[in-house]
Structure 1
Amino acid sequence: MVTIDEFLVGEIVSATLVCIVACLFIRSFLRNLSRKLPPGPRGWPIIGALPLLGTMPHVTLAKMAKRYGPVMYLKMGTCDMVVASTPDAARAFLKTLDMNFSNRPPNAGATHMAYNAQDMVFADYGPRWKLLRKLSSLHMLGRKALDEWTDVRAAELGHMLRAMHESSRQGQPVVVPEMLTYAMANMIGQVILSRRVFVTKGSESNEFKDMVVELMTSGGYFNIGDFVPSIAWMDLQGIEGGMKRLHKKFDALLTRMIEEHMATAHEREGKPDFLDILMTNCQENNTGSETLNSTNVKALLLNLFTAGTDTSSSVIEWALAEMLKNPSIFRRAHEEMDRVIGRQRRLRESDLPRLPYLRAICKESFRKHPSTPLNLPRVSAEPCLVNGYYIPGNTRLSVNIWAIGRDPDVWEDPLEFVPERFLLEKHAKVDAHGGSFELMPFGAGRRVCAGARMGVVMVEYILGTLVHSFEWGLPNGVDELNMDETFGLALQKSVPLSALVSPRLLPSAYA
C-alpha cells in the first residue's frame, strides 16, 4: 500500500522530470532559433545548389536574391555558401565582420594556377600575404609608386596611339582588347622588368591576351571538385586539366622573364626595378616569416600581369561600347576635353581632376560592368550572426558586386548607362576604391584588390586618352553592338569590341 508521502514524492519527481524536459526543449528551440540560416533555394542531393547557377552565376544569384533577400544561403556540395547582394549586406560582411572573413577558401584555381596559393590574391591572411602586399604597394601600386611611373604610362600609351593612328590611315578597324592588352602589359613590364614585354603588337601579344582571358574565365568557374572534394580527382568538367595546361604556359613565360632579367642585373646597378626588389626579399629555403621564395615571386608576377591587364581593359572596353551606343556621351565628353585640354596636345594624367564628366563615365562603367562581377570568395573563420541569421564557421562568402551595381533601391534606372548620375550630389562622393559599398568593383576591406588605385588611374587615363584622341564609329556593315557578357573572374564582352577610329587632334599629338 502506497502511503501519502510516497505519492507526493512520486508526483514531485514526475513534475521535476517534466520541467527538466521542458527546459531542455526550450533551450534547444532557442538555440536552433538563434542558429537560423539565411533563406535560400533548395539544392539537389549531394551537389546542392551547383546546378542551379547556370553559365551566368552573377545573374542567377541576383534573381535569387530578389526572392530570398540580401543575405542568401546555398548548400554547395558539402560546403556552406552565403551571398550578399546589397550594399548594407556587403558592409556587414566586409566591414563589420571583415577580420572573420579575411581568408580565401581552397579552390582549384589557387592550387593549379596560383602556385598552390603562394601568390597575393589567394594566400592566407598572414605574414607572407602582408609582405607581398607591402612590397607591391610601396614599389608599384601605391600613390607614390604610381606617380613615379607616370612617364612610363604616357610613353606606352603613345605607342598604342601610333598603332591606332596607323590603323585609321589604312581604314582598318581597331580590335580594342588587343590594343589594350598590348599597351597595359608593356606598362606593367616596364615597372616590373625595366623593359617592354611586347616590342610590337602582333601574334605574341594576342596569344598573351588569350591566355589571360582563359585564366580569368576558368578561374571564375564553379568547379564541382571545389565543393565536393571527394570527387575532385575525377575533374568532371575538365576544368582542372585546363588549368594545369594553362599554368605550364604561364610558368614557362614567367621563368623566361625572370632568367632574362637576372642576366641583365648589372645594367640596373643603383636603379632597381620591382623584380629586383622582390629578388632582394627572396631567400630560397629560408623559413623566416618575412622572406619570400622564387615561387612567391612568380605567383605575384602572375597576379600583376593578369589582373593588371584584364580587369582594367575589360572596363575600358565596356565603356567604349556603351559610348558607341550613346553618341551623346561621346559628344559631351569631347566638349569637356576640348574646353579643358584643346586639340593641340594629348591628355595628361594631371588633366584628370579637371574632367569630372570623364570620371563620371568611368564610375558608371565600374557600376554597370564591374571588373569582377562576384568578388573573389572569402571564408569565415568562426560562426557569426548577420542580419539575425546564423552563419556557420568555414562558410564561403560571395558578394554579388554586379547585383549591387544594378540595385534599383540604390540606383535610379540601373540598367541604363547614365554617367550624369555621378555628377549629382547624391552620388558625387561615391568612390571606386573600396570605401563605398554601393560601388566596389575592386572589393572592400582587408582583401580589397591591392591594385584598386592603379586600376582607377589606368581606366581614367587610358579611356580619357582614347576618347580625346579619336572619333569612334562602328565598322562598316555593323549596325548594332553585341553587348552580351561572358562570366569569369573578370566580366568579358562575349564579342570583342572592334571599331573604326579617326584622329581629332593635331598630327604632332600622335608623334
Structure 2
Amino acid sequence: MSSNIYDTWWQQALTNKYELACASLVIMVMTLAISWYKKTTTSSLAPLPPGPKGLPIVGYFPFLGPNLHHKFAKLANHYGPIFKIYLGSKLHVVVNSVELAKVVTGEQDENFANRDPHIAGLATSYNASDVAWAPNNANRRHLRKILVHEVLSNANLEASNSYRQHEVRKTVKYVYDNINTAVDINEISFSTVLNVLTKIVWGKGLAKGSKYINLSNDIRKVVSGVVEIAEGLNISDFFPSLARFDLQGVKKKMEGQMKQFDRIFEKTIEERISRAEVRGKVEGKKDLLEILLELKDQKTGPSITMTQLKALVVDIFLGGTDATSAMVEWAMAEILRNKNVIKKVQDELAEIVGFDNIVEESHLPKLKYLDAVFKETFRLHPPLPFLLPRAPNQTCVVDGFSVPKGSTIFLNVWAIQRDPKYWDNPSEFIPERFLNNERLEKWDYSGTNPKFFPFGSGRRRCPGIPLGEKMMMHILASLMHSFEWSLPTGEEIDLSDKFGIAMKKKKPLVVIPSQRLTNKNLYM
C-alpha cells in the first residue's frame, strides 16, 4: 500500500516539474539555513563591518604601503571606527575608536583575549609556549605570574637596581669617551638595556674559563638577528595555505636563530647546575635562570617545562630591548627638535639631580616633566601601532557588526592616540598635556584609560611596564643630564617612521655629545 502511495506521489511530481523544482529549492534553502544557524551564534546575524574592496585571492595587499599604521588611519577616516580588510585569504578587523577599544579590551575582553600568532612569533615563542603569544589559558596565566613575581615585583626591581645603575654609568662613560663624535642613540640604548637584562637573567654571566665568556655579545647577535628577520611582512602569514612552503624563508631563518639561542641555553644551564651542586643552594642571590630551573625541577606546587622556561626568557629579551631602545630614541628626537622642551628637561634635571651629581633611580619619580615627555612620546609613537593582534574565541558583535571567530583583530592605538576628538592639536608634541590635572584623568601605562594605552589593556596588557619605564627614564635622564647634544653639520631631525617589530625612526638619530658637567669624575 505504502509503495503505491509513493509511486503515485512521484508520478504526480514528475508531471509538474515546476512545483517539484520549487519544492526542492525551498527544502535546500531551509536545510542550508538551519545548518548555518546551528553553526553560528546569534551574533553572526549581524553584518560584517564596512571596508575597502580588494582583488580576488590577494585581497587589499596591492594597495598597502610600507607603513600600515598610516594606511589604516586613512581607511578609518573613510570607513569609520571599525572596518574590515582582507589581506590575502585572511579577514582582519581594525578597531579605531576609544569607545570600541573599551568594548574589545573591557566589556568583551575575555572573548578577545586570544592571540593570532604570526610565523615569526611562533618560532621565537617555541610554538606559543610563552606569555606574549600563548592562548589565554591557565598555562599563560601561570607563566605571567612567574614573570611578574620573579622579575617585575617591586622587591625584585629594587634588587636589580645595581645592574641598571652600573650599565647606565657604563653608557655615560662610553659616550664621554666619544665626546665630539657622532653616536647612534638607538644603538647605545639597545646595548644598555640588553646588558641589564642579561644580568637579570644570568647574573654576572658564566664562570671564568667558560667557553661563553662574553654572554652579552652572544645574546645580542641572536636578538638582533630575530629583530631583523621579523621586520618585514611575511606572505605566509596572510596565505596560510602557502605557509608550508616558507616562500620568504622566515621560518627557516628564525629557527636558525633559535638554535643559536638553544646552544647558549644548554651551556648556561649546564653551568648553573654544576654551580648549584658545588655551592649548594644557599650562597648568594640567585639569578632568574637559577630560579626558573628550581621551578622546573619542583615536584609539588607550580612548575614549568624547559620549553616554557626558554620561551619566558626569550620574551624578556625581545620584549625589553627593541621597543625600549626605540622609545629612548624617539623621546630624544622630540626633545632635541624643540628648544623649549630641551630647556624644561634640563632645568628639571638641574633642580632634582644637581650639577654635582649623577642621575640615580631615586631621582626618577621626581622628574615629572621628563615623565610627561615620555608619555607624549608614547602617544605619538607607540612602539606597536596595533599592539599584538587578537583573535576572538567566538563570533562577537562590536558596534552592531559581526566579528567572526578566526578573524584577526587590530587595535589601532596609533590612530586612537591621535584622535582630534580627544586630543587638542593631536599631531603636535606637547608634554604639558600630561601635566594638566583639570580633567582628573589617570595618565599612566596601566591601560585603564582607553584614550592612552600604548602597552595594551585588559588581560593581554604588557607585563614588563615597570622595568621598561625605569630603564627608559634612567637612560634618557642620564644622557640629557650629562651631555649637551648637537646634530652633525647640515643634518636635521627627521621624524619619519618605519613599520616593524617595533615602530622605529626611519632615519636613526645620530648626534654629537659635548660635556655638560664640570666635574669629570662624574663621567667615570
**Fold conserved between structures, TM > 0.5:** yes
Deviation at 1:358, TM superposition (A): 0.7
* CA deviation vs aligned residue, 1:110-149 (integer Å, no higher than 9, x gap): 3322211122211122222122111110111233321222
Which of 353, 356, 359 is equivalent to 1:341?
353
Partners of 1:217 and 1:149 in 2: CA distance: 29
Contact 2:123/2:251 (8 A) holds in 1? yes
Matches of 1:37 and 1:61 in 2, distance apart? 17
For the residues of structure 1 that align with 2:474 and 2:204, how far apart are their CA atoms? 21
1:443 aligns with 2:456: yes
Distance 1:371 1:398, change over 3 A: same
Among 318, 323, 327, which residue is 1:306 paired with?
318
Q: Do the aligned residues in 2 keep the contact of 1:374 with 1:489 (CA within 8 Å)?
A: no
Q: Relative to structure 1, is the Cα distance of residues 274 and 492 closer, same or farther in structure 2, using a 3 angstrom cutoff?
A: same
Are 2:87 and 1:76 aligned?
yes
Match status 1:429 vs 2:442? yes
Say which SS state the counterpart of residue 178 (structure 2) adopts: helix
Which deviates the most, 234-243 or 413-422? 234-243
Tell me by how many angstroms 1:350 deviates.
1.9
In structure 1, the residue matched to 2:343 is: 331
How far apart in 2 are the matches of 1:326 and 1:242? 42
Closer/same/farther in 2, CA of residues 440 and 193 from structure 1, 3 Å limit: same
Q: Does 1:92 align with 2:103?
A: yes
How far did residue 308 of structure 1 move?
0.9
CA distance in 2, matches of 1:196, 1:177: 24
| Counterpart-to-counterpart distance in 1, 2:215 and 2:138 | 37
| CA 61–150 in structure 1, closer or farther in 2 if over 3 Å, else same | same
CA contact (8 A) 1:187 1:196 kept: no
The reply to whether residue 138 of structure 1 matches residue 149 of structure 2 is yes
Seen in structure 2, the aligned counterparts of structure 1 residues 461 and 428 have a Cα distance that, compared at 3 Å, is farther
1:482 paired to 2:494: yes
One-letter amino acid of the structure 2 residue matched with residue 315 of structure 1: M
The one-character-per-residue Cα deviations of 1:57-83 (angstroms, maximum 9, x if unpaired) are: 111111111111111112233332211
AA of the residue aligned to 1:182: S
Query: Secondary structure of the equivalent of 2:374?
Result: helix
Code of the aligned partner of 1:185? L
> Which residue of the other structure, out of 121, 127, 132, is the alignment partner of 2:132?
121
Residue in 2 aligned with 1:294? 306
The separation in 2 between residues aligned to 1:498 and 1:257, in whole angstroms, is 36
Q: In the TM superposition, what is the alpha-carbon distance from 1:471 to its structure 2 partner? A: 1.0
1:191 has 2:200 as partner: yes
Q: Aligned partner of 1:488: which letter?
A: G
Structure 1: distance between partners of 2:142 and 2:457? 19
Q: Which moved more, 1:229-238 or 1:353-362?
A: 229-238
Structure-to-structure mapping, 1:320-399, within 5 angstroms? 320-399=332-411
- 1:452 paired residue among 465, 480, 494: 465
Query: Alignment RMSD, CA only?
Result: 3.1
Secondary structure of the residue that 1:101 maps to in structure 2?
coil
Aligned to 2:12: none
Report if the CA contact (8 A) 1:127-1:289 is conserved.
Answer: no
| 1:439 Cα deviation from its structure 2 partner | 1.6
**Structure-2 change in CA distance of 1:474 and 1:428 (3 Å):** farther
Task: Classify 1:303/1:282 alpha carbon distance in 2 versus 1 (closer, same or farther; 3 Å).
Answer: same
CA contact (8 A) 2:348 2:369 kept: yes
1:391-422 CA distance string (max 9 Å, x none): 11222111112222222222222222121221
Q: 1:468 aligns with which of 465, 470, 481?
A: 481
Length-normalised TM-score, structure 2: 0.84
Superposition deviation, residue 219 in structure 1: 3.4
1:227 is aligned to 2:241: no
Distance 1:466 1:64, change over 3 A: same
Letter in 1 for 2:130: D
- What's the CA shift string for 1:355-400, capped at 9, x where partnerless? 2111110101111111212211111011111111111122211111
CA contact (8 A) 1:218 1:488 kept: no
Q: Does 1:56 align with 2:71?
A: no
Q: What is the aligned partner in structure 2 of residue 249 from structure 1? A: 260
Distance in 2, matches of 1:196 and 1:466, equals: 27
Q: 8 Å contact 2:43–2:396 — kept in the other structure?
A: no
Contact kept? 1:184, 1:309, Cα under 8 Å: yes
Structure 2: segments with no counterpart, 5+ residues: 1-22, 209-213
Return the alpha-carbon distance in structure 2 between the equivalents of residues 290 and 32 of structure 1: 38
| Aligned amino acid, residue 479 of structure 1 | E
Structure 2 vs 1, CA of residues 470 and 112 (structure 1 numbering), >3 Å: closer, same or farther? same
2: CA distance, partners of 1:220 / 1:370 = 16
Return the offset for 1:264. 3.3
Please give the per-residue CA displacement for 1:145-204, whole angstroms capped at 9, x wherever unaligned.
212222221121111111111111xx322221221122111111222111169x9xxx99
Number of the residue aligned with 1:316: 328
Return the offset for 1:317.
0.6
What residue ranges of structure 1 are gaps of 5+ in the alignment?
A: 1-16
2-side partners of 1:109 and 1:233: how far apart? Answer: 13
Distance 1:128 1:82 in 2: 27
User: Is residue 50–residue 222 contact of structure 1 (8 Å, CA) maintained in 2?
Assistant: no
Mapped partners of 2:182, 2:151: distance in 1: 33
Q: What is the rounded CA distance, in whole Å, between the counterparts of 2:296 and 2:125 in structure 1?
A: 18
Q: Secondary structure of the residue that 2:460 maps to in structure 1?
A: coil
Measured in 2, the distance between the counterparts of 1:110 and 1:323 equals 33
Shift of residue 427, structure 1, vs aligned partner: 7.5
Q: Do 2:190 and 2:324's aligned partners in 1 also have CA atoms closer than 8 Å?
A: no
Name whichever of 44-53 and 343-352 sits farther off.
44-53
| Greater shift in the superposed pair: 291-300 or 46-55 | 46-55
Alpha-carbon distance, 1:283 to partner: 4.5
1:509 aligns with 2:518: no
The alignment of Structure 1 onto Structure 2 pairs a total of residues equal to 483
Q: 1:33 to 1:373 in 2, by over 3 A?
A: closer
Matched, 1:277 2:286: no
**Secondary structure of 2:402 counterpart:** strand
Give the conservation status (yes or no) of the 8 Å contact 2:117–2:389: no
Task: Decide whether aligned partners of structure 1 residues 361 and 276 sit closer, same or farther in structure 2, where only a CA change above 3 A counts.
Answer: same
Runs of 4+ in 1 over 4 A off after TM superposition: 26-29, 31-34, 203-211
Asked whether the 8 Å contact 1:103–1:125 carries over to 2, the reply is yes
Q: In structure 1, give the amino acid aligned to 2:255.
A: K
**What letter corresponds to residue 293 of structure 2 in structure 1?**
M
